[in-house]
Structure 1
Amino acid sequence: MTTQTPQATQGLRNLYFTRTAVQLVWAVSVIAVAVKNPAAGATLLILYPLWDVACTLYDLKTSPESDSATTRYVNAVLGTLTAIGIGLTVYSHPAYAVATFGVWALLAGLLQLVVGILRRKLLGGQWAMILSGVQSTAAGIAFVLGGLSGKFQIKDLGGYAIFGAIYFLVGGILLSRKR
């Protein structure tokens, strides 16, 4: 197991706070525009997993601990493939796009759970990320089932991002206290 440097901890804390802000803006935007402007909602849906990819790549750069690097690389590939899948379906079959987002949320949640557990050994205080991984996994299942049955729409995904933002805020606060 490698150790986490204070600079890496600070970088991770800053990433968590940035993710909190962007996810809240995304959630408000998707809730506000998805119904009135489906094209804008579709674009926001494509951008969400790409935002996660950008955050994962930044995380890899600032916190390169080997224990979770492979998991984070898998997450980056998964997010990229998800954005492509959503892009291919969102304009013709929005329900499939929601289900694709759900598959991504489920798998990304499992990966986040693994990273949270590994980082807990390294940093401590990762319970918010562990809970976020569990919540994302459960939400992903609901999005797949709800999307395929037509019960969930793009605007309904905003709540998911709000919960994620709360978890990242708590994680950032816990890392701040650790510093």
Structure 2
Amino acid sequence: MQNHSTESARSLRNLYFVRTVFQVIWAAAVLSTVRMQPQVASVLLIAYPLWDVACTLYDLRASRPAGSARTSQIVNALLGSAAALGIALTIFSKPAYSIAIFGAWAFGAGVLQLVAGLIRRKQLGGQWAMILSGAQSTAAGIAFVLGGLGGKLHTKDLGGYAIFGALYFMIGGILLSRKLSQAVVEQI
């Protein structure tokens, strides 16, 4: 691995582990507040795409991607910001619509994550978990859109969605750690 690739892999690995922890905590908070404190769960629903935007911006700064990888991350940040705004505008008046908006964001973010995973697979390796995560997010997004438009509140399912995402990020972080260890051994 070249120096820039090593630094990118290191920052990406660290980001994956931080995302793992955040998503587990977020899922636990949603699942524990959805019935008794729905206002708290609503705020958490708004926060989730904003967290993704923050992670995307960090990744852009740390890895300095070029070309289509940069474009997909910028689109992802814009999509997450729009989703948070849409959720905030609908969560208290039309909560099922906010689930549909979350689903549209999950679908779009999943497609973009799938693309990013494929690009990074060639550059860094160890991205199969992110590719699977993108595919799962895309499928879950469709389910959330259809459910939300059908008037169903899938708030508990959102916790499961975040837990699966955490698992994928943890696996991605472990795979990148192994790749980084191999690079160190090769340099010796």
User: Into which bin does the TM-score normalised by the smaller protein fall?
Assistant: over 0.9
User: Is the alpha carbon distance of 1:3 and 1:93 closer, same or farther for their aligned partners in structure 2, counting shifts above 3 Å?
Assistant: farther
Is it true that 1:164 corresponds to 2:172 in the alignment?
A: no
Hey, what's the Cα distance between the residues in 1 that align with 2:76 and 2:166? Answer: 18
TM, length-normalised to structure 2 = 0.92
Deviation of 1:102 (Å): 0.2
- Residue of structure 2 in register with 1:47 after alignment: 47
Is it true that 1:126 corresponds to 2:127 in the alignment?
A: yes
RMSD: 1.3
Deviation of 1:125 (Å): 1.4
Show structure 1 runs of 4+ deviating over 6 A: none
List gaps (5 residues or longer) in structure 1: none
TM, length-normalised to structure 1 = 0.96
The number of equivalent residue pairs is 178
Deviation of 1:138 (Å): 0.2
User: Is the alpha carbon distance of 1:136 and 1:3 closer, same or farther for their aligned partners in structure 2, counting shifts above 3 Å?
Assistant: farther
Cα offsets for 1:97-136 (capped at 9, x unmatched): 0000000000000000000000001011110000000000
- Residue of structure 2 in register with 1:91 after alignment: 92
Identity of aligned residues (%): 61
Which amino acid is 2:48 matched to?
Y
Deviates more, 1:39-48 or 1:60-69: 60-69
Hey, what's the Cα distance between the residues in 2 that align with 1:50 and 1:73? Answer: 14
Structure number with bigger Rg: 2
List gaps (5 residues or longer) in structure 2: 181-188
Hey, what's the Cα distance between the residues in 2 that align with 1:132 and 1:153? Answer: 19
Is it true that 1:21 corresponds to 2:54 in the alignment?
A: no
Q: Is the 8 A contact 1:35 1:155 kept in 2?
A: no
Tell me the SS of whatever aligns to 1:91: coil
